[in-house]
Structure 1
Amino acid sequence: MRVKTGYYIGIDVGTGSARACVIDHTGEIVSVASENIGLWQPEQDYYEQSTSDIWRCICLVVRRALDEHQTPASQVHGIGFDATCSLCLFSTETDDPISITAPDFNTERNVILWLDHRASKETDTINATGHKVLRYVGGKMSLEMEIPKILWLKNHMPEETFAKSKFYDLVDALTHIATGGEARGFSSMVCKQGYLPKGVEGSEKGWQEDFLQEIGLGELADNGFDRIGGVNGETGRHLNAGDLAGTLCEKAASELGLLPGIAIGSGVIDAYAGWIGTVGAKVEMKQQPTRNVNPDSALSGRVEAFSRLAVVAGTSSCHIAMSPEPVFVPGVWGPYRDTIFPDCWMAEGGQSATGQLLKHVLDTHPASKQALASAKSTGVNIFEFLNTRLNQLAVDKGVHCVADLARHFFFYGDLFGNRSPLADSKMRGSLVGLSSDISIDSLVIHYYGTLEFIALQTKQIVDTMNDSGHHISHIFMSGSQCQNDILVNLIASACNMPVVVPRYIHAAVCHGAAMLGVKAATMVADGKTVDLWDVIDEMSQPGKAFYPTEDKHEKALLRAKYQVFLDQCVRQREYRAIVDNATCDS
C-alpha cells in the first residue's frame, strides 16, 4: 500500500466534544486531544449547537495534538472528519450560518443536534406517506433523522429565510469549511435523507422528487437539488468514505496550524468512523467466519467484514453491519449503498441510550452519592468500584455467579425510547423485583440489571439482523463501555459469539477518521486511491477477544432472563394498547 511516511489527522465531533488524533503511517496513534463543545437546550427535547463553536474547538484540539507530539506541520499528509448526524444550515447567498433557534431565529446556533426530537409531528407526516424510500431507513424515518427536521424548519421559520437556506450534514459542513467551499457534495447525509442511489428502485437522480413533493418539501428539487447537495455527477458529488473531497484551504490551514493543500478524505457519520476503526482489529480467533463470495469479485478481499458487527458504544450504541447485497431489517436503518465502499450495503441498528442509561440509573439511586464517595476514597472510578463490589457480593452471598445476584431482578431499560429493533420512540422502562433496600448493595443490583439489559437488547438486535439475512458471527466493539469487562463478557455470553475490543478503545472513532485521511492522501495522477479496506487492514492494531461463558448454569440463567426481557418488551405495548383502547371514546 502506497502510504507516505509521515502523519495523518482524524477529527471526531461527538455529541459533547471534539477530538483530534494524530497517527503515523503505520496506524499508531501518537497523540490525542479533546475539547468540550457548546450544547444548548432551549426547550425540552430541543438540542442545538453552532458550527462556529465546533470549528473553534476543532482548531484547538488539532493544535494541541500537534504540539503534544511536536508533529511538524510539513509532515501531515491527510485529514479525515467524522461527526454526529446533525443538521446544519447556511445561507445560499453568503455561506454564513443561519439560526435554527425558534421563535426568533436570531442566534449563532445553526445546528440541530441528532438527538433533538422537535420534529415529532413532521416525522409522523413523512411516515404516513408509505413512500418506497422508507423501506431503506428500516421501514420508517426516525425523528432523529434530518428530513423531518428540515420540514420542521419550513413549518416554523420565516418563509424568506427558509428559501435562502441550504442544508448540510455536520461532517459535510466541516469539510466545506476546511476546503473553503471547494467541497460541495454529500457523503454521510445521503443515508438519512430519503436518497436512493442510481439504479436502486429505478432511481435516476438519487434524490426522490415525488417523495419531497408529497411531504411538502418539493422546492428542494429546484436547481438540481443544489440546496441538499445536488445530483451526483451533475450538480454535486456523492463520495465514498475517504475519497478525496478537496484540500485544506489557506484560511483553515492557518487556523488549524497546518499547511494548505493537505488532502481531505470524504467524511462519515461518527458511528461509521467507529466501524472503520474497529472491525479491522487484529486478534487470533478460535474460529474464523466463512462466507460464500465470488473470489473474482471486488468484494472478496473484505469478506471477513461481512460477518463482523461493529458496536460503537458510548452515550448511545450503534450496531453497524455490512453486506454485499441489500438486507432489510425491521427497525434497523438502511440498507444504505455506497456509504463506505462502492456497491456494499450498510445497516445501522442502535440503542438510544446505553452509557446515558447507566448514568441515569446511577444518578437517580438513593445510594449514588455514597457510592461515588466510596469510589473516590479508594482511588477508582465508579464502574471499577461497582464491579469490585459485585464480585465481592457474589462471594459473600455464596452464589454460583454474579448473575445470580439479580436472578429475580428484571430491568427493561428503554427509558429514552427504542431505536432498534422496535423503532418505537414511545417505549419506556420497566422494573420487576423492586425492594425497599436503598443501600449500595441495592445500587449494585440495579447497576448489574442495567448491564444485563444492554447485553440482552444487543442480542435482540443481532438476532433480528441475522433472522433477516445477515451473517453476523463476531462482534467488534469500541467506545468507553469496552472498559467494563463485566458488560463485554455479558454481551459475548448473551449473543453467544466472540466480542473483539480494539487496542484504541477510546479513540477508535478518531482512528477511523484518520484512516479516511490516509486513503485520500494516496490519490495519484489518474485520480485513484488505494482501497479503504487495505488501509483498515494495514493500519488496525492488535485487539483483545472475549468469549461466551462455558458455565452451563450461567448460560441457562441468561436464556431465561432473555425470555423475560422479550416478555417485558411485548407486555409494555400491550398495556399501552389496553389503556388507549379503553379511553379512545372519552
Structure 2
Amino acid sequence: MAYFLTADGGTESIRARVYDMKGNCLGTSAVPYQTDFKPGRVEQNPEDWWANFVRAAREAIREAEVDSSGIEAICYATTCCTVVALDENGRALRPAIMWMDVRAHQEAQEVLATGDEALLLNGAGQGPVSAEWMIPKALWLKRNEPQTFAKAHRICEYQDFLTYRLTGTWAASLDNAGLRWHYRSRSGGWASSLLAALDLSELEQKWPERVVAPGEVIGTLTSAAANELGLSGNVKVVQGGADALIGMIGLGVHKPGQLAMITGSSHLQFGVTESPIHAPGVWGSYADIVYPGRWIVEGGQTSTGSIINWLSRLKGAPLDFDDLNRRASALEPGCDGLIVQDHFQGNRTPHTDPLSRGAIVGLTLGHEVHHIFRAIMEGIGFGTRAILDAFRSAGYVGEEMTVGGGATGSDLWLQIHADTAGIPVRVPASPDAPSTGSAVLAGVGAGHFATIDEGIEAMVHAGRLIEPRAESVARYDDIYEKYAALYPALKEVMS
C-alpha cells in the first residue's frame, strides 16, 4: 500500500496528514506558530515553519500507524505571498512578510503605474495591483531594508522555503509564480520588463532558478531532512503551491463552470475556464497554474475567519461556538439591524483596496455577542456575493459553489453563504481541501495517476449539498444593497 505525507502551511498553524490512495486521511497533526501583528504589518519566523512541520509530520505518521517505509511522496500547500529573504543556506535574514501584510501599498500603486503587459492579469490591465503580492513586497524591501535585500541569495515564498529544506533545491511553484509573480508560462516567462521599469531587475536573479508545475517531482529528501522526519531518502518531493489553489483539487473543482471557495483566515473564490477571461474587479485568468491547458479566474477576501478570531481576542476568552451558533441561528437575517463590512485587513476583490477598513454599523445597547457573531458571518457572505457578481459581469457564471476549510464546521455559516449568494453550496466528504489536493498531487508525482483529473476521480469524494432558502435569499437581497453602499461611504470618511 502506498501512502502520501502532506502539509498545509496556513496562517495560524501547519498541519500534516497521511493519506492512502483512496483519499482517506489516516493520521493528522497540527502545530500552531506565533504571528506578530502590527497595523498593516504581519510577520512570522520561518524557522517555526520547519520545526513545526517536522513535529506535525512525525505525529501524523505515528497516528496513522503505517510503516513509514510505505510513504512514497510528500506534497504541501502553503500560504501564498508570504515572502522570505534567505541566505545561501536557506536561513531567514528577517521575519517573513505574511500574505496579509499590506505595508507595500504604495509600491503596489507604482507597479500598476508601469502599465506593463504583464499586468493584463490584474483587472484586464486596469488593476489594481495588491500590496499582498510578491513584487510590491520585494520593492518595499529593497527601498526600506536595502542591506537585507542586497544580502539575500533568494527572495521567495513559504512554499519555496520548505522545498529547499526538504530537497536542497531552489524551485518555485508555477502555481505561485503564475498567480502572484506575473510569471507567464505560455509567453515571456519572468516579467523582466516590469522589473526593469521598477529598477528591480536584480530580483529576477534572486528568485529560484527552476519553475515546477504542481504534480511534478522536484527531487527526493536530503539525508538531513530524511533523518529529521524519520523517512527514507527515496521519498519523492512533489510540487504543490498556494493553499487555496491546491484546495481546488481537493474540492474536485476541475471542470469549466465550477466554483470553489476555500475558507480559513481568508476566503478565496475560483473558477476554471478553457479560455482566458480578463475583466475589472476579477483577478486572472491564469494559464496552467493548476491544470495544464486550463485557466483559473480568481477573487478573494482578505479577512474572514480571522475576524472571528479577532472577536475572540476582543472578548478576552475563547468563544463558545456551540452556544454562539445556537443563539445566532435563532436570529432573523440582518441581526436586528447590524451590518458588518468585512475589510478588517483591507479588501482584496472586487475593490482591491488595502486601506479600506472593517466596520460594524447599526450597533445598539440591545446587541449582544451572538448578534455581532452572526453579523460577521453575513458580512463575509456579502463580500463573497460581491466577488461572484464581478465574476458574472466578466462572463463566468457558476451554478453551485463547493466549499472547503474552516467555514464547513458551521452549518449556520454554510447556510448564510448559500442564502447570501443565492446558489447551492456543496461540501465534499473531506473538506480539508489543501491537504486532499496535496495528496492527489503526491499520487500523480509518485506515478499512480496519469493526470490530476484521474487523481481527483480516485481520491475526492462527494459530500452534502446546502440549498438556499428562498425567503432568506429575498431578505438578504435587500440587506446586500446596504452592504454595497458602505464601501464608498466609508472610503470617503476614512480618507
Q: Is the shorter-chain TM-score for this pair beyond 0.5, marking a shared fold?
A: yes
SS, match of residue 227 in structure 2: helix
Could you tell me how far apart the structure 1 residues matched to 2:345 and 2:420 are?
A: 22
Look up the match of 2:217: 244
Q: Normalization by structure 1: what TM-score?
A: 0.79
Look up the match of 1:104: none
Could you tell me how far apart the structure 2 residues matched to 1:279 and 1:245 are?
A: 24
Contact 2:90 2:165 in 1 (8 A): no
Contact 1:315 1:354 in 2 (8 A): yes
Match of 2:208 among 210, 213, 229: 229
Matched ranges for 1:409-558 at <5 A: 409-437=338-366, 442-505=368-431, 507-522=432-447, 530-551=450-471, 554-558=472-476
Look up the match of 1:584: none
Instruction: Note closer, same or farther for the CA distance 1:160–1:112 as it changes in structure 2 (3 Å cut).
Output: closer
Contact 2:302 2:345 in 1 (8 A): yes
Instruction: Note closer, same or farther for the CA distance 1:382–1:329 as it changes in structure 2 (3 Å cut).
Output: farther
Range with greater deviation from structure 2 (154-163 or 26-35): 154-163
Contact 1:16 1:37 in 2 (8 A): yes
Structure 2, gaps ≥5 residues long: none
Look up the match of 2:3: 7
Could you tell me how far apart the structure 1 residues matched to 2:363 and 2:46 are?
A: 45
Q: Looking at secondary structure, tell me which structure has more strand per residue.
A: 2
Could you tell me how far apart the structure 2 residues matched to 1:20 and 1:478 are?
A: 17
Look up the match of 1:28: 24
Could you tell me how far apart the structure 1 residues matched to 2:424 and 2:6 are?
A: 28
Look up the match of 1:73: 68
1:490-538 deviations in Å (ceiling 9; x for gaps): 2112222110112233x32222212221110007xxxxx6110110121
Identity %: 27
Instruction: Note closer, same or farther for the CA distance 1:40–1:433 as it changes in structure 2 (3 Å cut).
Output: closer
Could you tell me how far apart the structure 2 residues matched to 1:28 and 1:257 are?
A: 22
1:276-321 deviations in Å (ceiling 9; x for gaps): 11135xxxxxxxxxxxxxxxxxxxxx5xx22222111111111122
Q: How many residues matched? A: 490
Q: What's the RMSD between the two structures over aligned residues?
A: 2.3
The aligned amino acid for 1:228 is W
User: Greater Rg, structure 1 or structure 2?
Assistant: 1
Instruction: Note closer, same or farther for the CA distance 1:121–1:275 as it changes in structure 2 (3 Å cut).
Output: same
Could you tell me how far apart the structure 1 residues matched to 2:149 and 2:380 are?
A: 43
Instruction: Note closer, same or farther for the CA distance 1:363–1:228 as it changes in structure 2 (3 Å cut).
Output: closer
Contact 1:146 1:193 in 2 (8 A): yes
Could you tell me how far apart the structure 2 residues matched to 1:173 and 1:431 are?
A: 38
**Per-residue deviation at 1:228?**
1.3
Range with greater deviation from structure 2 (493-502 or 150-159): 150-159
Contact 1:137 1:192 in 2 (8 A): no
Look up the match of 1:254: 227
Could you tell me how far apart the structure 2 residues matched to 1:133 and 1:483 are?
A: 39
1:408-457 deviations in Å (ceiling 9; x for gaps): 3333332321111111122223444321235xxx3222222222111122
Instruction: Note closer, same or farther for the CA distance 1:542–1:162 as it changes in structure 2 (3 Å cut).
Output: same
The aligned amino acid for 2:239 is S
Contact 2:342 2:383 in 1 (8 A): no
Match of 2:131 among 127, 143, 161: 143
SS, match of residue 420 in structure 1: coil
The aligned amino acid for 1:136 is L
Match of 1:341 among 264, 288, 291: 291
Contact 2:85 2:152 in 1 (8 A): no
The aligned amino acid for 2:192 is E
Match of 1:113 among 88, 98, 115: 98
Match of 2:44 among 49, 62, 69: 49
Instruction: Note closer, same or farther for the CA distance 1:15–1:164 as it changes in structure 2 (3 Å cut).
Output: closer
Range with greater deviation from structure 2 (76-85 or 167-176): 167-176
Contact 2:109 2:128 in 1 (8 A): no
The aligned amino acid for 1:72 is D
Instruction: Note closer, same or farther for the CA distance 1:134–1:388 as it changes in structure 2 (3 Å cut).
Output: same
The aligned amino acid for 1:546 is I
Instruction: Note closer, same or farther for the CA distance 1:362–1:248 as it changes in structure 2 (3 Å cut).
Output: closer
Contact 2:183 2:190 in 1 (8 A): yes
Contact 1:474 1:500 in 2 (8 A): yes
The aligned amino acid for 2:9 is V
1:73-95 deviations in Å (ceiling 9; x for gaps): 1111111011112112222xx33
Match of 1:189 among 157, 176, 192: 176
Could you tell me how far apart the structure 1 residues matched to 2:417 and 2:79 are?
A: 25
Contact 2:400 2:425 in 1 (8 A): yes
Look up the match of 1:97: 91
Look up the match of 1:207: 190
SS, match of residue 475 in structure 2: helix
Look up the match of 1:287: none
SS, match of residue 202 in structure 2: helix
Structure 1, gaps ≥5 residues long: 101-108, 231-235, 281-301, 374-380, 395-401, 524-528, 581-586
**Per-residue deviation at 1:219?**
2.4
